[in-house]
Amino acid sequence: MKIGDIEFGDFPLFLAPMEDVSDPPFRALCKEQGCDMMYTEFISVEGLIRDADKSVQKLDIYDYERPIGIQIFGSNISSMQRAAEIVEEAKPEVLDINYGCPVKKVVCKMSGAGILQDIPRMVKLTEAIVKSTNLPVTVKTRLGWNEQTKYIEEVAERLQDVGIKALSIHGRTRAQMYKGEADWTLIGKIKENPRVHIPIIGNGDINSPEKAVEYKNRYGIDGIMIGRASIGNPWIFRDIKHYVKTGEILERPDIFERVRAVKQHLTHSLEWKGPKLGVLEMRRHYANYFRGYRDIKPIRSLLVTEHDPAVLFEILDGLQERYAGVITV
């Protein structure tokens, strides 16, 4: 598989852009575990062109992360074009456009999945961005706005025609948000369409090596993008790659490997965000890292209420002693 001049080999795995999740500290762990390409958290173009600190910080990328894509969202053509120029200065390998975020505060401005209500506008906006940058442009979107507007087959052709280099598709409509089961049948139909020659990356509900291979074989997709299943579980990339290669399921990481990953995540979070935000924004991750351990709730409560990084590291060390040799349930 290839995006622009980037060669990935067979069946690459991608980390989905996730707000407040796919930041540099988390991306480092996913890369270490075999993720082929990662995307930044999505960045507001209006924040970017106004030099808002939060938006600009999301442009931070590191050499060990490459290849990497920076994802932007917005609805105004001139703002998107200016943001594309700013993104190009950050030197990612790919510029990705978010046409899939279902959150109300995004879609009400016709950004994210909101633009699925106006396909001609989506195509016009995409074409303008493709023409304004030398970077390969990719798109992440959904099947449609609702059950009555699943126009993704037409969208795939039209976006390809204006120059995008790959399309990632989440198998839900905006109306579904993240509920119900992702439907990959239309993603499979796009792969069967002889007119479509760009890589098609499937996204939605891939939470195990077995499911990844099943969907690869059933729908013929070029790669898989993993989002929520990677939170607190960067090992999913390693596990899928091993299963694709050998057909074997790896053992789940033990408490020592989990604590090592959390310490690394916390250390990088403190370095990148500072002591206050670094502590606060790690709190959403602890439950996922330690899911499945019996009687973990009181310890997790300590992790999400403690402010002192030194104490947090002590609590993590205590977890290793308490759960040494314990298999998660």
Segment 315-327, tens digit of pLDDT = 999 998 888 877 7
Q: What is the pTM of this model?
A: 0.93
- Segments in the chain below pLDDT 70: 328-329
pLDDT at 289: 95
**Chain Cα centroid distance, residue 5:** 21
pLDDT at 324: 86
Segment 200-231, tens digit of pLDDT = 999 999 999 999 999 999 999 999 999 999 99
Which residues participate in catalysis according to the annotation?
Answer: 101
pLDDT at 103: 93
List of domains in the chain: 2-246 (3.20.20.70), 255-322 (1.10.1200)
Segment 105-121, tens digit of pLDDT = 999 999 999 999 999 99
Q: How far apart are CA 32 and CA 238, in angstroms?
A: 9
**Six token digits for residue 158:** 């039209």
**Six token digits for residue 93:** 């390998």
pLDDT at 90: 95
Q: 10 Å Cβ neighbour count for 287?
A: 15
pLDDT at 218: 96
DSSP 170: E
pLDDT at 9: 87
Print the SS3 string covering 195-239. CCCCCEEEECCCCCHHHHHHHHHHHCCCEEEECHHHCCCCHHHHH
